[in-house]
């Protein structure tokens, strides 16, 4: 019995131990105390660490992308003029960029401003503009390529900002604080906030010019040159017929509102512009007009000698190599020069006054200033969110620090290579990336066009067409080497 009890006791102890260890093995699988304790401890420590991580992430929210670029095309079009098509990725966006690169040190390459229809009020498609200009000047140069330039005003089509073509001022006023690029007599570029003023010198007396190529009323002195029309007063009868026959929608199909200048035009406002132009033209008709023949080659920042060849009223034609001065009713008739008399025409700039300027284009905003990429849209008076921030096709120009290279650039918005258009910030970064020390934006949106060897590179389906524009900037190959003007010092001192 004792042995039995002892054995029974041992058996009970054994069963208890088996039961205990069995229970202790199953329990952690359901609620592992040790693991939970470890998690709890981890949670406490990770809570502190995660706070640090969050604060670190806030400081570096912007992901740094390594700049990348891939050349799709890199070809020499003519000695000193190259075309490049590059995929550039500076951030999360990839951009399709077309570049016309001009060697400014090459004595047979230069930049040329071209006006649509050679008239202040005309628009033309860029391929047509460049082809006509090249054909008309084939003895002097050939146009290799070009881009659209100035913004322009709805209906009147006047380019916005100072516009100089072959030394003659086509448009004088500066718009707001917009940026312009002026080119001197050897094609060297100067970028800044340019303002133009003009005067004529008659018998030692200075008479300020009120405007160029258009008159607002019957007062003041207005100068007309070949860009003001073949006859003064000039009426754009073609535009009037378009308005009357086709209607506003068709007439304005090429106008730059919505994606560039952001202007809107109602039918009433359009008609008002038309009648205002006609009224100004009528007021010009009865005023006295003096026709001058250039003796010197015209330049800005130079005194240009002219000879009076005729004085008349009514409709007066302007021949090549001539200009016309219209005297308002408030001008003393004793100041009007006589036939055969010599007068001086003088236009000058507010900056870089020592340079002889032959051409210019204007736009907004400045993109790169002295090597720093930062658009200046707000400073120049632009507030449109779409214009500043929307990823659009854009046109820009710039040059390097030593002024040895000029870059004519368009950003393509077609998604051929999973690319996007650009906003102004991205465009500024791109211009700096390709080598610009100074750069500015030009008209863009639907006006964005680059033509090389007669073809619009942004329209594969129809490369010989584009939206009509007002002003173009072209890269040209000269037949003869460019020279510094010998009259430079003499004309400035006169």
DSSP per residue, 214-270: --SSSSSEEEE-GGG-SEES---HHHHHHHHHH-HHHHGGG--TTTTS-----HHHH
**164 domain residue, yes or no:** yes
The pLDDT of residue 274 is above 90: no
**37 domain residue, yes or no:** no
261 against 425, higher pLDDT: 425
Are 115 and 230 members of one domain?
no
* Number of independent structural domains in the chain: 2
* Nearest CA among 224, 238, 188, 256 for reference residue 471: 256
**257 domain residue, yes or no:** yes
What pLDDT score was predicted for residue 119?
96
On average, the pLDDT of the chain sits at: 85
Share above pLDDT 70 across residues of the chain, in percent, rounded to a whole number = 77
Are 231 and 318 members of one domain?
yes
User: Of 325, 349, 373, which one is at a domain's C-terminal end?
Assistant: 349
* Average pLDDT for 128-154: 96
User: Of 321, 349, 377, which one is at a domain's C-terminal end?
Assistant: 349
Task: Give pLDDT tens digits for 436-452.
Answer: 999 999 999 999 999 99
CB 173 within 8 A of CB 162: yes
* Average pLDDT for 468-494: 77
**How buried is 492 (Cβ within 10 angstroms: 0-12 exposed, 13-18 middle, 19+ buried)?**
middle
Task: Give pLDDT tens digits for 45-102.
Answer: 444 454 544 544 445 455 677 899 999 999 999 999 999 999 999 988 899 999 999 9
What pLDDT score was predicted for residue 414?
86
Are 368 and 381 members of one domain?
yes
Q: Which of 51-65, 112-126, 312-326 has the lowest mean pLDDT?
A: 51-65
Q: Whole-angstrom Cα distance, residue 490 to residue 494?
A: 6
**444 domain residue, yes or no:** yes
CA atoms within 13 A on the CB side of 390: 15
Rg (CA), the chain: 35
Are 84 and 146 members of one domain?
yes
Are 207 and 342 members of one domain?
yes
Are 79 and 144 members of one domain?
yes
Task: Give pLDDT tens digits for 230-264.
Answer: 999 987 655 555 555 544 444 444 444 344 544 55
Task: Give pLDDT tens digits for 336-359.
Answer: 999 999 999 999 999 999 999 999
What pLDDT score was predicted for residue 234?
86
What pLDDT score was predicted for residue 241?
56
* Nearest CA among 367, 365, 366 for reference residue 428: 367
Are 306 and 227 members of one domain?
yes
- For residue 159, give both structure tokens: 């380019």
**484 domain residue, yes or no:** no
User: Of 331, 349, 367, which one is at a domain's C-terminal end?
Assistant: 349
pLDDT bin (cut points 50, 70, 90) of residue 266 is low
Q: Whole-angstrom Cα distance, residue 166 to residue 164?
A: 7
Are 341 and 358 members of one domain?
no
Are 261 and 344 members of one domain?
yes
Query: Residue 357: in which H helix or E strand, if any?
Result: strand 357-363
**18 domain residue, yes or no:** no
What pLDDT score was predicted for residue 251?
46
**328 domain residue, yes or no:** yes
Are 206 and 335 members of one domain?
yes
Are 331 and 210 members of one domain?
yes
Provide the domain limits for residue 459.
Answer: 68-190+353-478
What pLDDT score was predicted for residue 357?
98
**448 domain residue, yes or no:** yes
Are 471 and 332 members of one domain?
no
CA atoms within 13 A on the CB side of 353: 8
Task: Give pLDDT tens digits for 154-177.
Answer: 878 999 999 999 999 999 999 999
pLDDT bin (cut points 50, 70, 90) of residue 24 is very low
């Amino acid at each position: 019995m004792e042995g039995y009890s002892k054995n029974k006791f041992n058996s009970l102890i054994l069963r208890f131990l088996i039961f205990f260890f069995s229970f202790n093995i199953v329990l952690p699988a359901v609620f592992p105390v040790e693991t939970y304790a470890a998690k709890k401890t981890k949670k406490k420590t990770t809570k502190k660490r995660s706070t640090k991580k969050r604060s670190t992430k806030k400081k570096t929210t912007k992901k740094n992308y390594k700049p990348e670029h891939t050349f799709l095309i890199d070809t020499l079009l003519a000695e000193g003029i190259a075309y490049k098509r590059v995929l550039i990725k500076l951030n999360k966006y990839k951009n399709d960029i077309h570049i016309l690169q001009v060697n400014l040190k090459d004595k047979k390459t230069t930049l040329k401003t071209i006006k649509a229809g050679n008239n202040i009020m005309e628009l033309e498609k860029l391929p047509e503009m460049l082809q006509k200009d090249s054909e008309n000047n084939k003895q002097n140069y050939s146009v290799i390529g070009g881009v659209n330039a100035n913004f322009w005003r709805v209906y009147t089509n006047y380019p916005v900002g100072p516009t100089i073509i072959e030394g003659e001022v086509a448009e004088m006023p500066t718009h707001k604080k917009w940026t312009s690029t002026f080119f001197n007599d050897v094609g060297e570029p100067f970028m800044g906030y340019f303002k133009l003023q003009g005067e004529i010198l008659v018998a030692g007396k200075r008479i300020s010019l009120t405007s160029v190529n258009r008159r607002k009323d019957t007062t003041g002195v207005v100068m007309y040159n070949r860009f003001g029309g073949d006859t003064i007063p000039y009426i754009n009868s073609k535009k009037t017929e378009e308005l009357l026959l086709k209607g506003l929608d068709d007439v304005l199909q090429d106008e730059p509102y919505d994606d560039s200048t952001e202007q809107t035009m109602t039918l009433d406002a359009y008609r008002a512009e038309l009648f205002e132009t006609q009224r100004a033209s009528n007021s010009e008709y009865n005023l006295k007009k003096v026709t001058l023949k250039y003796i010197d080659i015209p330049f800005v920042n130079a005194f240009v000698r002219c000879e009076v060849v005729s004085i008349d009223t009514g409709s007066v034609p302007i021949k090549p190599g001539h200009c016309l001065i219209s005297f308002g009713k408030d001008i003393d008739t004793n100041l009007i020069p006589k036939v055969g008399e010599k007068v001086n025409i003088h236009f000058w700039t507010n900056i870089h006054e020592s340079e002889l300027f032959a051409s210019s284009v204007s736009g907004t905003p400045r993109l790169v200033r002295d090597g720093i990429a930062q658009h200046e849209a707000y400073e120049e008076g632009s507030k449109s969110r779409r214009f500043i921030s929307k990823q659009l096709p854009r046109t820009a120009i710039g040059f390097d620090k030593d002024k040895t290279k000029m870059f004519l650039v368009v950003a393509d918005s077609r998604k051929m290579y999973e690319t996007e258009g650009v906003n102004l910030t991205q465009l500024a970064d791109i211009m700096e990336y390709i080598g610009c020390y100074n750069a500015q934006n030009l008209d863009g949106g639907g006006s964005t066009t680059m033509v090389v060897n007669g073809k619009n590179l942004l329209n594969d389906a129809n490369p010989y067409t584009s939206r009509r524009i007002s002003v173009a900037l072209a890269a040209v190959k000269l037949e003869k080497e460019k020279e510094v003007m010998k009259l430079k010092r003499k004309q400035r001192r006169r």
